[in-house]
Amino acid sequence: GQSLEQPSEVTAVEGAIVQINCTYQTSGFYGLSWYQQHDGGAPTFLSYNALDGLEETGRFSSFLSRSDSYGYLLLQELQMKDSASYFCAVRDQFSSSASKIIFGSGTRLSIRP
């Protein structure tokens, strides 16, 4: 089966940098993605890594190491609006013709002024 582990809570200061880690165990691997969800809101897609290395999108970057079954989301120049839950996710092969996304338990990021 699949499992993903990420810290349940992280606190950081406005303007700082924070890293949210995710380790996974999968029977097959098709890439790691990250979603952001504000309280009362819907998850929104942030990034996807299929290959090793760093992907940068503005203030957010995502890293993947397939050999270590590990990835992280890096948020720079933190703003109060970044306070949200962040989920890592992997694809699980459900059958020969269908796959599904499995979400980690989520990391609640709180930003302090």
Partner 1 sequence: DTEVTQTPKHLVMGMTNKKSLKCEQHMGHRAMYWYKQKAKKPPELMFVYSYEKLSINESVPSRFSPECPNSSLLNLHLHALQPEDSALYLCASSQSLEIYEQYFGPGTRLTVT
Kindly state the smallest distance separating residue 19's Cβ from partner 1, in Å: 20
Torsion-angle region of 110 (φ positive above 0: left; ψ -120 to 50: alpha; else: beta): beta
Kindly state the smallest distance separating residue 39's Cβ from partner 1, in Å: 10
Look up tokens 């504000």; give the residue.
Answer: 38
Binding to partner 1 by CB under 8 A, coded x per residue (else -) over 45-84, reads: x--x------------------------------------
| Residues 3, 104 contacting (CB under 8 angstroms) | no
Q: Which is nearer to partner 1, 28 or 45 (CB)?
A: 45
Name the strand (E) or helix (H) holding 11. Answer: strand 9-13
| Residue 100 lies near partner 1 (rule: CB under 8 A) | yes
